[in-house]
Structure 1
Amino acid sequence: MTAVQQPLAPHEREMIRDELLRSLTKLERSLKSSGAAARPRDLEQDTVGRLSRVEALQNAGFTKNLEAREKAQLEQILSALRRLEDGSYGACNGCGAPIPFERLQIFPETLACGTCARG
């Protein structure tokens, strides 16, 4: 991918980088805690009622789905940080135009301008 024709101002790049790093730290903490919550539990027939077992299995499923979404978001953030480093950050993957700074502030990991994201 080529560098963006209208690069972000240095202070804008720093704002975006700071936000991406904050999100990265938050996700890493969440993944660490959800990983512990997702560990299988011993659901013995004597100690846990049938409804409690079903609830425990549902909670484990929810935790697993949350972890998958967080891992996907983590990859998006890491990709955005790599694009910041290589100079391709802020270019729309669809049309190649610069993504407005306002959109990048709201969705710093985005790959598309608003028009292309809407399809």
Structure 2
Amino acid sequence: MKDSDIARFRDQIETRLAEIDAEDALGRSGQATVELDQQAIGRLSRQDALQSQAMARATHVRRDVERRRLRAALERIREGEFGYCEDCGDEIAQARLALDPGVTRCISCANG
């Protein structure tokens, strides 16, 4: 893989990491503890708020997993291992990396 390709992937990863951080900042309020007065608001409204809180937390977990995968990809770039399958050592197709730069296996190994 050319240095220009690596630089493009690095930029793509860093841009996505910045987006994830921004999304986290926006989602923090949705993860806050739900405190509703049931007599003033009602049981169903509290259930809706609890469900929204659970969804916000699940979204945060998904973003955190993606963040770890992308940081690992940056580490592979620094080590010169980016773009190579962790199982067989072959190059991972650039089209596959463009869709998800955090992938660690070529399509053959990913399919089993």
TM-score, structure 1 normalization: 0.89
RMSD: 1.0
Question: What is the CA–CA distance in structure 2 between the aligned matches of 1:30 and 1:118, rounded to whole Å?
Answer: 32
Report what 1:29 is aligned to: 22
Question: 1:36 deviation in Å?
Answer: 2.3
Residue number among 37, 40, 44 corresponding to 2:37 in the alignment:
44
With structure 2 as the length reference, what TM-score do the two structures score?
Answer: 0.94
Q: Which has the higher helix share?
A: 2
From 59, 62, 69, the counterpart of 1:76: 69
Supply the distance in 2 between the matched residues of 1:118 and 1:20 (Cα, whole angstroms). Answer: 24
Point out where structure 1 has 5 or more consecutive residues left out of the alignment: 1-7
Residue number in structure 2 paired with 1:109: 102
Name the % identity.
27
Q: Which fold has the larger relative contact order, with Cα–Cα distance below 8 Å and residues 6 or more apart in sequence?
A: 1
Work out the number of aligned pairs and report it: 112
Matched, 1:91 2:84: yes
Q: Which runs of 4+ in 1 moved over 2 A?
A: none
Q: Are 2:52 and 1:59 equivalent residues in the alignment? A: yes
